[in-house]
Copies of this chain bind each other. A is one copy, B any other.
Amino acid sequence: MTNLAERVAAGDRRALGRLLSQIEREDPEAQKILAGLNIRPDRALVIGITGASGTGKSTLVNALTRVLRKGTTDEPPQTVGILAVDPSSPFSGGAILGDRIRMRDLAGDDGVFIRSMASRGHLGGLSRATDCAVRALDAAGFEIIIIETVGAGQDEVEIARQADTVIVLETPGLGDDIQAIKAGILEIADVLAVNKADLPGAEAAAASLEAMLNLEKKGEDGWRTPIVSTVAATGEGMQALAAAVFRHRDYLKRSGEWARREQERAGRNLEERLRERLFDRWKASAGENALADAVRKVASRECSMEEALERLLLKEDAAAKSKG
């Protein structure tokens, strides 16, 4: 067990893969291994990438990864861990088609690790699993972690909040110029990429995004969301995108946001996990059927919701006393 934790820290890819599988299926063992992982004094930069389907996210993630692996004019080459998270899909990790194509594309590079994670039916679980997976990749020493999410709904916003720097992807010509920008998505963008910028309408799309940014982000705090035009398929604009990401990282560190976002994230994740564990503990102590029995009584109008709740809360106390 500590053995697996040590192997993850030492960069053993099979051990990392096993840990991520345990995390994905919510195996309690994973919690013990995560508790035993080393904590690096510094942490990875976590990039979230989101956008509607058809915007070319996977291609862009690959192209960006290649640039990060080579290094830019200002930055040395970095190791990259990629988590492709799909809140809408019940398919599970590591073996979906897109992944295999990607793995071939980035194959043979020990500085890259790719992993898919899929929903197990509840978003809370996926967002928790994403947090754990990020920490596993961090402990394994990856310098940059990319979380790629499918779609741009509320679920994706939730997952993108696990990132330091959020890139929102747009493309011209998806019907309306700005149709694919959903409410709330622009707000979370630290960097906007207009991908497929060789298509007609790219300039108009960039201009309307610019206008929307000016409307929505007026009075922001020292960071002006840049709009970068890219053609991920040919690699065009990828250096500029990487540069924008690093500029944002520098801004985060300079302004104190780097620590603030980590604090916020730790707070959200820890509280979430605590609530879950308290409920699990209650269930273990009160008995599996206590809640179902109470629900039946409330639904059949034998007692009020409030009475049922008070009785359920007393149940654990009684159980704890009779044990103690």
Contact = CB atoms under 8 A, between A and B. Distances in A.
A259 B270 CA distance: 37
B37 A299 contact: no
Interface string A257-273: 00100110111011101
Contacts of A310: 35
A309 interface: yes
A102 to B, nearest CB: 27
B269 A305 contact: yes
A55 to B, nearest CB: 17
A303 B35 CA distance: 9
A67 interface: no
Interface residues of A, number: 52
A307 to B, nearest CB: 5
B298 A266 contact: yes
A301 interface: yes
A304 interface: yes
A209 interface: no
Interface string A182-202: 010000000000000000000
Interface in A261-308: 262-263, 265-267, 269-271, 273-275, 277-279, 281-282, 291-292, 294-296, 298-299, 301, 303-308
Interface in A32-63: 32, 34-35, 37, 39-41, 43
B291 A270 contact: yes
A31 interface: yes
A154 interface: yes
A295 B265 CA distance: 9
A279 B32 CA distance: 23
Contacts of A281: 313
A76 interface: no
B277 A279 contact: no
Interface of A: 31-32, 34-35, 37, 39-41, 43, 131, 135, 153-154, 183, 259, 262-263, 265-267, 269-271, 273-275, 277-279, 281-282, 291-292, 294-296, 298-299, 301, 303-310, 312-313, 320-321, 324
Given A263-B299, A270-B312, 13 more contacts: A32-B306, A34-B305, A35-B306, A154-B154, A266-B295, A266-B299, A270-B294, A270-B305, A273-B305, A274-B309, A274-B313, A278-B282, A320-B320
